[in-house]
Amino acid sequence: QSALTQPPSASGSPGQSVTISCTGTSSDVGGYNYVSWYQQYPGKAPKVIIYEVSKRPSGVPDRFSGSKSGNTASLTVSGLQAEDEADYYCSSYGGINNLAVFGGGTKLSVL
């Protein structure tokens, strides 16, 4: 069982927006602005697309955005494209005994 809770699936049509949530506690997501989001294609390693809640690494389209409210972080994908179909994972600082914790992942389908 993963430390952070994500919905198992999400979907949207091309051009639409979809938001994926990531719920933790005040000891991880809620306590620090240390939330990242990863995109993973089947058989590939994860790739960071958001870090420090809302920052995008260079090369990541601005269609991807992140936010946080309380113990819940969110990833929004705007203007959905077929290539966005992938698994998305959130990660957060998890405290001194477990520096990083992950969500269980959300499979995003582009209908």
Partner 1 sequence: QVQLQQSGPGLVKPSQTLSLTCVISGDSVSSNSAAWNWIRQSPSRGLEWLGRTYYRSTWYNDYAVSVKSRITFNSDTSKNQFSLHLNSVTPEDAAVYYCAKGVNPWELVVWGQGTLVTVSP
Name the site residues for partner 1 (rule: CB under 8 A): 2, 34-36, 38, 45-48, 51-52, 57, 89, 91-94, 97-105
- The nearer residue to partner 1, 12 or 104, going by C-beta atoms, is 104
CA torsion angle for 36, 59, 43, 93 (degrees, to 10)? -10
Pick from 25, 1, 14, 10: nearest CA to 75: 10
Side-chain-side CA neighbours of 105 within 13 Å: the count stands at 11
| Residues 76 and 84 sit within 8 Å (Cβ to Cβ) | no
Give whichever of 1 and 13 is closer to partner 1, judged by the CB atom.
1
CB of 103 to partner 1, least distance (A): 8
Closest CB to partner 1 among residues 84, 106:
106
Query: Minimum Å distance from CB 89 to partner 1?
Result: 6
